[in-house]
């Protein structure tokens, strides 16, 4: 059951080779693809960071969240407000979004400690539903721009590098994503990760062994929100616009679907999930104009039939079988 385990301490040389090849491909891709595709890939990177965060909470720590769209929105609005109202440079908004969401997630995690399963799902669902209404409120309007939102400007490449805005943002997001993935991986394979999984698998035993459940569960919420917030900030800069309508309940649901389809409790699952979230609705739209979301739903169900452990576990199974043959 490799999909549910923690990342191994050392990456096998075979895996290094694959990762290096992937990295090379990712660096070359923007010069071969149209600006529009580069823009799409940038969104995939942002979503991958989000899903890594959600995976930490739901996959590794077993706390279901139907409300991560709210943290994505908070990250996006922090970035937008700082850039638009205070002229903060875009790259500085990311740590700011991370800090705000870390605190927000931790604060939300505290009362949520006592809630389990469907009760926690409801509480997080409530958060996702309430946030757009809050964002529209008159009192916050001078900051959030109300229903009409805030428009942002995409940054140009620094130091006069010969990259257009789309490509520069892509490389910036790639760097951030790689950084966040390393951070996440280290967190997960360290003591914190072990505590998370222990709490998920057997909370009573974990407590008996001295793990402070309250602290770790809230921390996990905070860290998970932090990752999601960074993704949200990146997404806002890429789309160049934030508005309450951008962050409705369906976004939170899509994140959960993405994380389960990608592969719970795996680091690579975040990437597969991000690809799913970004591209499957477009594919569905092309297949059927009349009922595109029906196609999306059918695809979601098919993925669950074929790979209940997610794409990551499916690929793992196939690669195991391949390795056994050679």
Partner 1 sequence: MKHAKALASFTLAVACAAAPAYAQKKYDPGASDTEIKIGQTMPYSGPASAYGTIGRVEAAYFKMINEKGGINGRKLELISVDDGYSPPRTVEATRRLVEQDEVLFEFQPLGTAPNVAIHKYMNAKKVPQLFVATGATMWGDPKHFPWTMGWQPSYQTEGKIYAKDILANHPNAKIGVLYQNDDYGKDLLKGLKDGLGAKASSMIVKEASYEVTDPSIDSQILSLKDSGADVFVNIATPKFAALAIRKVYDSGWKPVHYLNNVSLSIGAVLKPAGLEKSVGLITAAYLKDATDPEWANDPAMNEYKAFLKKYYPEANVADSSNVYGYSAAMTLVQVLKQCGDDLTRANVMKQAASLKHLQLPLARPGIEVNTGPDDFFPFEAEQLARFDGQRWVAYGKVIE
Partner 2 sequence: MDTFLAQFLAGLATGGIYASLALALVMIHQATRLVNFAQGELAMFSTYIAWSLVQAGIPYWVAFGLTLLISFAAGIAIDRLLLRPVRGSPALPMVVVFIGLLVILNSVAGWIYTYTVRPFPSPFPSEPLFGQHYISSHDLGAIGVTLAMLAAIYAFFRFTPLGLAMRAAAQNPESARLVGIRVGWMRALGWGLACAIGAAAGMMVAPIVFLDPNMMSGVLLYAFAAALIGGIDDPFGAVFGGFFVGVLENLLGAYVIGQELKLTVALVVIVAVLVVKPSGLFGRTLARRV
List residues near partner 2 by CB under 8 A.
58, 64, 111-112, 114-119, 121-123, 125-127, 129-130, 133-134, 136-138, 204, 208, 253, 256-257, 260-261, 264, 290-294, 296-298, 300-301, 304-305, 308-309
43's contact among partner 1, partner 2, none, with CB below 5 to 8 A by partner kind, is partner 1
Interface map 141-170 toward partner 1 (x if CB under 8 A): -----xxxx-x-------------------
Query: Minimum Å distance from CB 139 to partner 1?
Result: 14
DSSP codes, 275-322:
HHHHHHHHHHHHH-SS-HHHHHHHHHHHHHHH-TTHHHHHHHHHHHHH
123 vs 265, which CB is nearer to partner 1? 123
Query: Minimum Å distance from CB 192 to partner 1?
Result: 32
10 vs 138, which CB is nearer to partner 2? 138
Give the distance, in angstroms, between the CA of residue 303 and the centroid of all CA atoms in the same chain: 19
112 vs 187, which CB is nearer to partner 2? 112
* CB crowding 270-288: b at 16 or more within 10 Å, else e: bbbbbbbbbebbeebeeee
Our finding on whether 248 is near partner 1 (CB under 8 A) is yes
**Contacts (Cβ under 8 Å, ≥6 apart) of 189:** 6, 7, 8, 9
Backbone angles phi, psi at 62, to 5 degrees: 70, 15
102 vs 237, which CB is nearer to partner 1? 237
Residue 104 has a CB neighbour count (10 Å cut-off) of: 21
Q: Of residues 240, 298, 314, 317, which one binds partner 1 by CB under 8 A?
A: 240
Q: Which two tokens stand for residue 313?
A: 């576990």
132 within 8 A of 70, measured Cβ to Cβ: no
* CB crowding 183-199: b at 16 or more within 10 Å, else e: ebbebbbeebbebbbbb
300's contact among partner 2, partner 1, none, with CB below 5 to 8 A by partner kind, is partner 2
Our finding on whether 285 is near partner 1 (CB under 8 A) is yes
Query: Minimum Å distance from CB 54 to partner 2?
Result: 11
107 vs 248, which CB is nearer to partner 1? 248
The Cα–Cα gap between 18 and 34 comes to 25
For the chain, the distance separating the N- and C-terminal CA atoms, rounded to the nearest angstrom, is 21
267 vs 295, which CB is nearer to partner 1? 295
Residue 175 has a CB neighbour count (10 Å cut-off) of: 12
98's contact among partner 2, partner 1, none, with CB below 5 to 8 A by partner kind, is none
68 within 8 A of 105, measured Cβ to Cβ: no
The Cα–Cα gap between 227 and 85 comes to 24
76 vs 187, which CB is nearer to partner 1? 76
Query: Minimum Å distance from CB 104 to partner 2?
Result: 15
28 vs 214, which CB is nearer to partner 2? 214
Residues forming contacts to partner 1 in the complex (CB under 8 A) are 34-36, 39-40, 43, 129, 133, 136, 146-149, 151, 235, 239-241, 243-246, 248, 250-251, 281, 285, 289, 292-293
């Amino acid at each position: 059951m490799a999909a549910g385990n923690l990342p191994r301490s050392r990456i096998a040389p075979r895996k290094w080779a694959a990762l290096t090849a992937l990295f090379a491909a990712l660096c070359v891709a923007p010069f071969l693809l149209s600006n529009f595709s580069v823009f799409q890939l940038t969104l995939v990177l942002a979503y991958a960071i989000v899903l890594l965060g959600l995976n930490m909470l739901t996959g590794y720590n077993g706390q279901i969240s139907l409300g991560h769209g709210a943290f994505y929105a908070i990250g996006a609005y922090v970035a937008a407000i700082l850039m638009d109202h205070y002229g903060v440079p875009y790259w500085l908004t990311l740590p700011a979004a991370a800090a705000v969401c870390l605190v927000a997630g931790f604060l939300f995690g505290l009362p949520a400690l006592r809630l389990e399963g469907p009760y926690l799902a409801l509480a997080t669902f409530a958060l996702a539903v309430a946030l757009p209404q809050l964002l529209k409120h008159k009192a916050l309007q001078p900051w959030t721009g109300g229903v009409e939102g805030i428009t942002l400007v995409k940054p140009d490449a620094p130091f006069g590098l010969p990259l257009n805005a789309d490509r520069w943002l892509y490389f910036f997001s790639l760097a951030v994503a790689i950084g966040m993935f390393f951070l996440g991986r280290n967190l997960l394979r360290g003591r914190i990760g072990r505590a998370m999984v222990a709490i998920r698998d057997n909370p009573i035993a974990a407590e008996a062994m001295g793990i402070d459940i309250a602290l770790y569960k809230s921390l996990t919420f905070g860290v998970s929100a932090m990752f999601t917030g960074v993704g949200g900030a990146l997404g806002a800069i890429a789309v160049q616009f934030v508005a309450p309508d951008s962050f409705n309940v369906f976004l939170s649901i899509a994140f959960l679907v993405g994380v389960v389809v990608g592969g719970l409790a795996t680091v690579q699952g975040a990437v597969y999930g991000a690809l799913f979230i970004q591209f499957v609705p477009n594919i569905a739209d092309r297949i059927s104009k009349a009922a595109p979301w029906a196609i999306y739903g059918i695809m979601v169900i098919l993925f669950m039939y074929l790979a209940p452990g997610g794409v990551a576990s499916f690929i793992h199974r196939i690669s195991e079988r391949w390795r056994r043959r050679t």
